[in-house]
Amino acid sequence: MTTCACGNCQFFDNQSKAAMKPKEKDGGPCRYNPPMPQPAGNGGHASAGHGVWPVVARKDWCGHFAATVERFMTAAE
């Protein structure tokens, strides 16, 4: 049985640059929702900012969990 945790979810990205940072070694971005806009750090306009996916720990969980195998099963149907 698969544990319903972010580390086992198809939306958990453990291959991204954010997941490779030493301080984020047990985490990675969740790709379920689109990135959230972040304002520019220098007081500029919001359009000068960028989008960021939330970083979650492998042991976190939420109601959007989807086992990784489901991604391949729907493609085969």
Task: Give the contacts of 57 (CB within 8 A, at least 6 positions apart).
Answer: 6, 26, 27
What pLDDT band is residue 27 in, cutting at 50, 70 and 90? confident
For residues 5 and 46, the model is more confident at 5
Question: Over the stretch 54-75, which tens digit does the pLDDT of each residue have?
Answer: 889 999 999 888 886 655 555 4
Measure the CA angle with vertex 11, ends 7 and 13; round to 5°: 65
What pLDDT band is residue 16 in, cutting at 50, 70 and 90? confident
Write down the pTM of the prediction: 0.64
